[in-house]
Amino acid sequence: MSNFNLRQDIEQRFLRYVQIDTTSNEFSTAVPSTAIQYDLLNLLAAELEDMGAAEVTITDYACVYATIPATVNHDVPVLSFWAHVDTSPAFSGKDVKPQVHRHYDGRPITLPGNPTLTLDPTEFPYLQQKIGEDLVTSDGTTLLGADDKAGVAICMSFGKYLLDHPEIPHGKIRLCFTPDEEIGRGVSNVKLEDVGADIGYTLDGGRLGAIVYETFSADKAVVRIEGVAAHPGYAKGVMVNALHLAGKFVEKLPQDHRTPETTSGTEGFIHVYEMRGTATAVDLYLILRDFERDGLAAHGDLVRDIAAEIQALEPRAKVTVEISAQYRNMRYWLENDMQPVELARQAAKRLGIDVFSSPTRGGTDGSRLTEMGLPTPNLFTGMQNFHGPTEWVSLHDMEKAAELCLNMAQLAAK
């Protein structure tokens, strides 16, 4: 019998992984979008080889796959567990300095690299449920990267545990690590025949007990405004300033509804998140989110209508809109076959975990994988406040997520 310590292994891996910069870049056309993601992908492949995993592969589309061989002889559904290595470009993920807070005492946590930032349980109520647990934060100068290196560490430790405990009955398990999830391209190039699984699970969720089978549907919109260039000293009646028109476009977007800061629950939104350009030409980048197809289409129609208004306002300009699909609500497919969700719920019940399945105001690789034909609900990791400097995670929650995966593997073998 192995003396492998699951909790300790998760912590050690997580603290190492978050210190590797893997920020993705949506303006890059490379695969992965940033070469630095290979620093972690290559490390994971090497560690999988060292732990004795089979069929370890780095694909030409920058995914790492590995197999935990079955320990039973009868037919068992092949389960796959997924996590993404990249971190969000919304905040710096370089030179992360993880801080472990042992036996959290319930008081506010001041982040040492930026003392103006405090994790206060009155502001973040989930902290009140974590008293006595070990928490990890950054030092406040970067994000932490628990999204989704918590998932990466959980998958790796879960796989190592199974390899060290061949007496545990389970079918074939596939571990899968993707790049570029944060920019909506995590599984764009995935070939399901390379995966060879019947069911998938992403480890990319929040608080303990969350088993998600409903996500946003998502589109990306790029509005390009081309003005008319002229020397500013002789521009009267000639120049058309694209920046001015871009400002008018943004002003016409809903301000008191349909924005991230004014919506919650199952309300969708339009979010303009970047503007690039000059007086001659400007690109506006927007994300459109809704839980229903009709709502998502309405967001796109509104963007087109406003663009048409700007075009009519200044016929000499050229205003174009390009809307591209990113992912769709996994509920559309999973509600027709809830077996993957029920397997996770049964495993959680065995562990005494209170399960909840509320719609998540985001998406995961599981949204696209489900649409592609691999049903893939999303499981909790414990991460909180992701994409910013107050991000944190409970090591207790991460251990519970790994135990959930272990129980799911055993239940599937029955």
CATH code of the domain covering residue 297: 3.30.70.360
Position 3 confidence tier, pLDDT thresholds 50, 70, 90: low
What gap in Å lies between CA 399 and CA 392, rounded to an integer?
Answer: 15
| Domain-located, residue 1 | no
Same domain as 180, residue 69: yes
In-domain check, residue 91? yes
Three-state SS string over 194-246 comes to: HHCCCEEEEEEECCCCEEECCECEEEEEEEEEECECCCHHHCCCCCECHHHHH
Same domain, residue pair 163 and 233: no
- pLDDT at position 1: 41
Find all residues with CB under 8 Å of 53, minimum gap 6, and list them: 66, 67, 68, 159, 163, 175
User: Does residue 256 belong to any structural domain of this protein?
Assistant: yes
What local confidence, expressed as pLDDT, does residue 2 receive? 57
Instruction: For 204-262, write each residue's pLDDT tens digit.
Output: 999 999 999 999 999 999 999 999 999 999 999 999 999 999 999 999 999 999 999 99
In a domain, 188, yes or no: yes
Residue keyed to tokens 């049964």? 346
Do 211 and 242 reside in the same domain of the chain? no
Q: Give the pLDDT confidence of 103-161 residue by residue, as tens digits.
A: 999 999 999 999 999 999 999 999 999 999 999 999 999 999 999 999 999 999 999 99
> Quick check: pTM over 0.85?
yes
User: What pLDDT, in 10s, does the model give residues 374-392?
Assistant: 999 999 999 999 999 999 9
Domains in the chain, number: 2
Between the alpha carbon of residue 1 and those of residues 4, 5, 161, 163, the distances in Å are 9, 12, 11, 11
Q: Give the mean model confidence (pLDDT) for residues 76-81.
A: 98
d(C-alpha 57, C-alpha 49), whole Å: 10
CATH of residue 117's domain is 3.40.630.10
Tell me which of 289, 312, 327 is where a domain ends. 327
- Both tokens assigned to 407: 């129980």
Domain limit, last residue, from 275, 300, 327: 327
Per-residue pLDDT at 87: 98
Residues 268, 150, 196, 375: what is their CA dihedral angle, to the nearest 10 degrees? -30
Which residue, of 327, 356, 376, is where some domain finishes?
327
Residue 358 and residue 376 in one domain: yes
Inter-axis angle of helices 242-252 and 293-313, nearest 10: 140
Which structural domain range is residue 164 located in? 6-215+329-413
Q: Residue 245: what pLDDT? A: 98
Are 108 and 17 within one domain? yes
Cβ pair 330, 371 in contact under 8 A = yes
Kindly report the average pLDDT of the chain as a whole number.
96
Q: ∠9-15-20 over CA atoms, to 5°? A: 125
Q: Of the residues 21, 47, 86, 314, which is catalytic? A: 86
Catalytic residue among 134, 181, 290, 371: 181
Residues 208 and 226 in one domain: no
Secondary structure E strands in 69-170: 79-84, 99-101, 109-110, 118-119, 135-137
- 260 within a domain of the structure (yes/no): yes
Q: What does the alpha-carbon distance between residue 317 and residue 203 come to, in Å, rounded to a whole number? A: 46
Cis peptide before 179 (omega within 30 of 0): no
Q: Which candidate, 233, 205, 230, 151, places its Cα nearest to that of 341?
A: 205
| Inter-residue contact 62 to 31 (CB < 8 Å) | yes
If asked whether residues 12 and 127 sit together in one domain, one would say: yes
Question: 115 and 25, same structural domain?
Answer: yes
181 is catalytic: yes
